[in-house]
Structure 1
Amino acid sequence: MNNAITTELTPPVSAALTGWLALTNHERRTLQAAMAALQSLGQSSALASQPAFNAVPSAPATTLSIDTLPAVDLELFRSEAYRALGQGETIAFYIAGCRGLLGLSQPLGIPIYKAGFSRGLTIETRLAHLRQSAYAGVWKSGAEHKVEAGFDSWEATVLRLEHPRPAGSPVRSLPQALAITLPAGVDPLDIDRVLMQALAPRSLQHFVTGDAGQAHCGACAVDPARLRRFTARDTKRGRKFPESKELFRLAPRQDTEALAQLIEAVVADAASTLLRR
């Protein structure tokens, strides 16, 4: 009996937010960039001591191209109408890794991270939950769910903006997160949903179910089933294994500016919707 829990896909967001992620900046398609990105997770000495990626010439590009992002009218954030909405909730966008995820990344030659939001500016509570639940620590071999070690050591990586965002931007840099100040009336859960949908082309789930991902796994002698990750969850009806869908092919050091601009686009879209009402 298949006891894995699946969730419905959220409605598609506009093509402007989904289409651009299918494009990549091939000039930054280097293993050195991927290695540097994963090493940024080395705030933990244990993680920093892990060996580097194996050389995999066929490794797909992971960095996001800022040149292909949807255009954002930053004047919106400086407008009287936007300010009249008032200040709403502040949330934090983080990218995290762990030893178990590093073990998946290395033979593939690509960095894999968990991305998500935390309400407020303190992400430690969220990280503690990831550790306690051993998020993504299970994979399925046939009908059997297998638990792997190393998924109880989640740590946030550094997200550093090389340049401050333009005046009025709702995004600012924290040591291990991007802080986003939402206008009043915008639900943080909607921002989370839309951004995760926009990043879906970079998801590990999307990669492993596509022909290119299957071929790359074959070239690296990696069982694609190991990349379909689940989290064990005890319920009154027994243990369930919902799929862990917030794993992405990202390079934090290279992608922070692009992620900030994408978040601005999502917030601007939500604010524009409010202003049209």
Structure 2
Amino acid sequence: MPGFPAEVGAVDLMIGFPSAQARSHYDFLKPQLRDAESADMEFPAEYMFKGVPNQLADEDDPVAVTVAKMDACGVAVGLVGLSETGLRAAKEHPDRFRLSLEVDPNEITAAVRRIRAAHEEHRIAAVTTFPAGCNPQVPVSDRRYYPIYQTCIDLDIPIISNAGIPGPRVPAACQDVMHFDQVCYDFPELRIVMRHGAEPWEDLAVKLMLKWPGLYYMTSAFAPKYYPKAIVDYANTRGADKIMYAGYYPMGLSLERIFRELPDVPFKAEVWPKFLRENAMRVFKLGADESR
């Protein structure tokens, strides 16, 4: 497709490693799921996805499998969670992986200490959080998040937060995009990145990104053919520096499908390098010479 750069060296802001025990990764949600169908799901949002690739043969190495898929699709760098496998990947492939830390703001002081320790020891590039997945849930603008936001400012790292209706069958009000308005007002130095769509409030997400310099959006958990029109239009106009690529491998989407569909997204030619690489390098400070 015209304008799509085949060899841009993409940064994937949400990637992971396949696992033979993938179902256990979602045990933290079990206390909140009440419907019978969710209890039988391998993946609590699997009703939204087909052919979930999160599986691994006994003889396969999860890091090697992910690196091979990154190579095949032109993904240069992946942001992965701080785990035993993530740490090994970053050690074996320091130029290919950066680490993030998932936090539950209910812990407050413990969460702040975990962030500071992870940054000191592992140089994490970001904090991530799932407000609707916390137990109890924590709204994005809740006071329990505020020490975490200030810590991210102090360490000069962004925080990634789910926005919009969650896939798992749990309440959504805590992820209403309007919460981000108050956070950006109270923390003008914070870099905060919305993940997982922001639907059905994607138009509001655009309005708030226009309003607040530190608010961004990444395309995690959406196949490219389902990218919200409001987000694509914004990237093609005033938001070229605000929208970043993120996949969902192996949690729900294959890299092969993502990069097969990407060329059909109607981004302008000048948007592609920013979307696939440059914005992430700047916002997450992934390059030694990259400025904010």
TM-score of the pair, normalised by structure 2 = 0.26
Q: Which has the higher strand share?
A: 1
**Rg larger for:** 1
Larger relative contact order (Cα-Cα within 8 Å, sequence gap ≥ 6): 1
TM-score of the pair, normalised by structure 1 = 0.27
